[in-house]
Structure 1
Amino acid sequence: MRKRLIVSAAAGALALLLSVPASAAQAGPGAAGIGDPYYPNAGNGGYDVSHYDIRLKYQPATDLLEGTTTILATATQDLTRFNLDFVLQVKEVLVNGRAAKFASTGEQELEITPARTIAKGSPITVVVRYADKPGSVERGGYSAWLRTPDGGVAANEPEGSAWWYPSNDHPTDKATFDVSVQVPDGTQVISNGTAAQRSSAGWTRYSYRQTKPQATYLATLAIGKFEIRNDTTPGGTPVITAYSKDLGDNLGAAQASVERTGELVDWLAGYFGEYPFGTVGGYVPNVPTGYALETQGQIFYSPAQFARGANTSVVVHELAHQWYGDSVSVQRWSDIWLNEGFARYSQWLWSEHENEGTAQELADYVYNLYPADHAFWTVKPGDPGADHQFSGAVYDRGAVAVQALRNAVGDEKFFRILKGWPTERKYGNATIQQFQAYAERISGKPLGELFNTWLFTAGKPAVGSAGAAPAAASLAPSLAPSAGASAAPEPKSWKKIQETNAVHEHKG
Structure 2
Amino acid sequence: MFRRQGLRATVAACSATAFLAAPAFAGTGTPGAPGAGDPYFPHYGNGGYDVSHYDIQLRYQPQDDHLTGTTTIVAKPTQDLSAFNLDFALKVKSVRVNGQPAEFHHEGSELTVTPPQTLPKGGLATFVVDYDDVPSTVEVDGIKPWIRTSDGALAVGEPEIAAWWFPSNDHPRDKATYDIAVTVPDGNQVLSNGVNTRTSSMNGWTTWKWRDTKPTASYLAFMAVGEYEVSNKTGAFGKPFVSAYSRGLGDLEGAAKASVERTPEVLDFLSGLFGEYPFEAEGGVVSSEGMNFALENQTRPTYSHKFFKDGANTSVVVHENAHQWFGDSVSVDTWRDIWLNEGFASYAEWLWSEKQGTGTAQQLFDHYYAQYPADDPFWQIKPGEPGAKDVFSDAVYDRGAMALQALRNVIGDRALQDVVRSWVQQKQYSNGTIEEFIKLAEQRSGKQLDDFFKVWLFTSGKPPVGPQYGVPETATTHAAAVPKAVPELDRTHALLHEQH
Q: TM-score, normalised by structure 1?
A: 0.92
Cα separation, 1, equivalents of 2:153 and 2:379: 38
Aligned length: 478
Identity across matched positions, percent: 54
Q: Counterparts of 1:424-443 in structure 2 under 5 Å?
A: 424-443=426-445
Match of 1:372 among 355, 371, 374: 374
Q: Is the 8 Å Cα contact of residues 364 and 488 (structure 1) preserved in structure 2?
A: no
SS of 1:235's partner is: helix
Query: Structure 1 pair 276/507, CA: closer, same or farther in 2 (3 Å)?
Result: closer
Match of 1:270 among 266, 269, 272: 272
Query: Structure 1 pair 118/441, CA: closer, same or farther in 2 (3 Å)?
Result: same
Cα deviation digits, residues 222-279 of structure 1 (max 9, x gap): 1111100011224211110001111122211111100111111111111011100000
Q: Which runs of 5+ in 1 are unaligned?
A: 11-25, 477-485
CA-CA distance at 1:80 after TM superposition: 1.1
SS of 2:158's partner is: coil
Q: Counterparts of 1:169-184 in structure 2 under 5 Å?
A: 169-184=170-185
Match of 2:66 among 64, 67, 87: 64
Query: Structure 1 pair 269/471, CA: closer, same or farther in 2 (3 Å)?
Result: farther
Number of the residue aligned with 1:20:
none
Q: Counterparts of 1:36-435 in structure 2 under 5 Å?
A: 36-105=38-107, 107-195=108-196, 196-435=198-437
SS of 2:238's partner is: coil
Q: Is the 8 Å Cα contact of residues 464 and 472 (structure 1) preserved in structure 2?
A: no
CA-CA distance at 1:9 after TM superposition: 8.6
Cα separation, 2, equivalents of 1:462 and 1:228: 50
Matched letter for residue 359 of structure 1: A
SS of 1:115's partner is: coil
Matched letter for residue 152 of structure 1: A
CA-CA distance at 1:466 after TM superposition: 3.3
Match of 2:2 among 3, 6, 12: 6
Q: Is the 8 Å Cα contact of residues 252 and 309 (structure 2) preserved in structure 1?
A: yes
Matched letter for residue 503 of structure 1: L
Moved more, 410-419 or 316-325: 410-419
Matched letter for residue 6 of structure 1: F
Cα separation, 2, equivalents of 1:75 and 1:390: 33
Cα separation, 2, equivalents of 1:222 and 1:141: 23
Q: Is the 8 Å Cα contact of residues 369 and 487 (structure 1) preserved in structure 2?
A: no
CA-CA distance at 1:507 after TM superposition: 5.8
Cα separation, 2, equivalents of 1:419 and 1:242: 31
Q: TM-score, normalised by structure 2?
A: 0.93
CA-CA distance at 1:289 after TM superposition: 2.4
Match of 2:495 among 476, 484, 503: 503
Matched letter for residue 495 of structure 2: V
Moved more, 168-177 or 232-241: 232-241
Cα deviation digits, residues 171-215 of structure 1 (max 9, x gap): 000000000011111111000000021111211110000010000
Cα separation, 1, equivalents of 2:375 and 2:236: 48
Matched letter for residue 305 of structure 1: F
Moved more, 400-409 or 458-467: 458-467
SS of 2:208's partner is: strand
Query: Structure 1 pair 322/269, CA: closer, same or farther in 2 (3 Å)?
Result: same
Tell me how large the CA RMSD over aligned residues is.
Answer: 1.5
Cα separation, 1, equivalents of 2:172 and 2:468: 31
Cα deviation digits, residues 282-319 of structure 1 (max 9, x gap): 10122232110000001110111111111001000000
CA-CA distance at 1:62 after TM superposition: 1.1
SS of 2:230's partner is: strand
Q: Is the 8 Å Cα contact of residues 323 and 345 (structure 2) preserved in structure 1?
A: yes
Cα separation, 2, equivalents of 1:27 and 1:459: 50
Q: Counterparts of 1:15-54 in structure 2 under 5 Å?
A: 27-54=29-56
Specify which structure has the bigger relative contact order, considering alpha-carbon pairs within 8 angstroms and separated by 6 or more residues: 1
Task: Tell whether 2:460 aligns with 1:458.
Answer: yes
Q: Which runs of 5+ in 2 are unaligned?
A: 7-27
Q: Is the 8 Å Cα contact of residues 3 and 41 (structure 2) preserved in structure 1?
A: yes
Number of the residue aligned with 1:490:
482
CA-CA distance at 1:117 after TM superposition: 1.0
CA-CA distance at 1:76 after TM superposition: 0.7
CA-CA distance at 1:411 after TM superposition: 1.0
Number of the residue aligned with 1:445:
447
Cα deviation digits, residues 116-157 of structure 1 (max 9, x gap): 111211211000000101011111232111000011001100
Matched letter for residue 398 of structure 2: D
SS of 2:422's partner is: helix
Cα deviation digits, residues 369-417 of structure 1 (max 9, x gap): 1111100000100010111111111111001100111111111111112
Cα separation, 2, equivalents of 1:367 and 1:8: 37
Matched letter for residue 118 of structure 2: T
Matched letter for residue 141 of structure 2: G
Query: Structure 1 pair 209/282, CA: closer, same or farther in 2 (3 Å)?
Result: same
Cα separation, 2, equivalents of 1:366 and 1:207: 45
Q: Is the 8 Å Cα contact of residues 38 and 44 (structure 2) preserved in structure 1?
A: yes
Cα separation, 1, equivalents of 2:133 and 2:467: 56
CA-CA distance at 1:441 after TM superposition: 1.1
